[in-house]
Amino acid sequence: MTLADAQDGQAVFVTRTNGEEITSQAMRFGIGEGTKIQIQKNIKGGPVIISKNQLEIAIGRKLAQLIEVAPE
Q: In what order do the strands lie in the sheet with 67-71?
A: 55-59, 48-52, 36-42, 11-17, 67-71
What pTM, to 2 d.p., does this model score?
A: 0.89
Model confidence pLDDT, tens digit, residues 61-72? 999 999 999 998
CATH topology of domain 3-71: SH3 type barrels. (2.30.30)
Each domain of the chain, given as residue ranges in start order, spans 3-71
Query: What contacts 44, CB < 8 A, 6 or more positions away?
Result: none
What is the structure's pLDDT at 45? 92
Q: Binning pLDDT at 50, 70 and 90, where does residue 59 land? A: very high
Model confidence pLDDT, tens digit, residues 14-52? 999 988 888 888 888 888 899 999 999 999 999 999 999
What is the structure's pLDDT at 28? 87
